[in-house]
Amino acid sequence: MPLEPGLEIVPRLERSNGALALALARDDTGRTGIADLYQRDPCRALFPTPEPGDVFQAVMLTTSGGLAGGDRIAATIAAGAGTRVKVTTQAAEKVYRSRAENTVFGVDIAVGAGAWLEWLPQETILFDGARFRRETRISLAGDARLLAAEIVVFGRAARGERLAAGHYLDRWRVVRDGRLAWHDAVGWGGEPAATLAHPAGFGGAGAMATMLYAGPDAAGRLAAARAALEPAGGRAAATLVNGLLVARFLADGAQGLRSDLARLWCRLRESAGNLPSVLPRTWYT
C-alpha cells in the first residue's frame, strides 16, 4: 500500500529492558557478602577481590555497549545493617541519539543502620540528540552513611561535538528515616545550547557532577569539603541541606572534572569512612 504524502515508515527496534538487583548482608564474622542477586540483560555485576583494608566491591556493567532511545535500565542496591560496600561501573556509559524515545535509568539505593555505601559510576556521556532521564532514589537509616556521585558529559569532546538537540533530566531524591531530606532536578529540553552556554545555567561547561555525603557527621565536614574544592577555581561548591553535604561541579571536560571530584571523594572516603584515599580500580583502567 503506498504511503500518504509526507508520511515516513519508522522501524520499531528491539529495546533493552535491563535490571540489576543486589542485596548485601553482614555475616557473623562481620564481613559483607551477597545476600541476593538478580540480573537481566544487558546488566551484569562483577565482584573483584577487595584491596587489603578496603570494602566489598561490586562493579556494574551493561553488555550492550551503550544505551539507545527506548532502553530502560533499573539498578537496585540494598546494603543491610552494618555492611560496608562500594559500587561502581566498569566503564563510562554512552547514551546515543534518539529520534523520539527516552532512555530511562532508575537507581534505587537503600542503606541500613550503621552501613556504609559508596555509589560511584563512571561518567554518562550524552551524544548530540540523546534523550536521557535518570532518577536516583535513596533511602537511609538514621545513622547510615552514603557517599555518592554522578558525572554527566555533554557531547563527545574528542570529536568536538556540542549538544544542539536532545532532552536531559536528572533527579535525586533522598529520604532519611522515612522523611524527605533532599530533592533535586536538573536538565533541559529541546535545544540545550542556550542553557549550556548561559552564565546562570552551565556557564559553557562540558561536564557536570553532583556529589552527596550523608552521615551523622556531615555538617562537621563542610569546611574541609570546601577547602578541597578550592583548586577547582570557583567551578565547584559545597553546601549543607537538611544535614546532607551536597557538592556540585562544572568543568570543561571529563578529565578536569574527574580530578576535581576525586580530590573531594578521596578526602571524604578517608576521613568519614576510614578507608584508603583511592578511587575504584576500574577508574584507572
pLDDT digits (tens, 9 = 90+) for 247-277: 999 999 999 999 999 999 999 999 999 999 9
State mean pLDDT over 71-93. Answer: 98
Peptide bond into 42 cis (omega under 30): yes
Q: Print the domain residue range for 179.
A: 17-275
Kindly state whether residue 2 falls inside one of the protein's structural domains: no
What are 56-77's pLDDT values in tens digits?
999 999 998 899 999 999 999 9
As a whole number of Å, the end-to-end CA separation of the chain is 54
Kindly state the cell numbers that stand for 15.
Answer: 529495546
Query: Residue 13 above 70 pLDDT?
Result: no
Query: Residue 39 above 80 pLDDT?
Result: yes
Displacement of CA 39 from its chain's centroid (Å): 19
Residue 7 pLDDT: 52
3-state helix, strand and coil shares in percent for the chain, rounded to the nearest 5: 15, 45, 40
Mean confidence (pLDDT) of the chain: 94
Kindly state whether residue 8 falls inside one of the protein's structural domains: no
Kindly state whether residue 3 falls inside one of the protein's structural domains: no
**Amino acid, res. 67:** L
For 184-199, letters b (16+ CB in 10 Å) and e give eeebbeeebeebbeee
Query: Residue 12 above 70 pLDDT?
Result: no
Q: What is the C-alpha separation between 144 and 110, in angstroms, rounded?
A: 9
Kindly state whether residue 141 falls inside one of the protein's structural domains: yes
Query: Residue 285 above 80 pLDDT?
Result: no
Q: Is the whole-model pTM more than 0.75?
A: yes
Kindly state whether residue 285 falls inside one of the protein's structural domains: no
Residue 4 pLDDT: 57
Kindly state the cell numbers that stand for 228.
Answer: 578541597
Residue 260 φ then ψ, to 5°: -65, -45
In the chain, the number of structural domains is 1
Long-range CB contacts (within 8 A, 24+) of 185-191: 186/210, 190/165, 191/164, 191/165
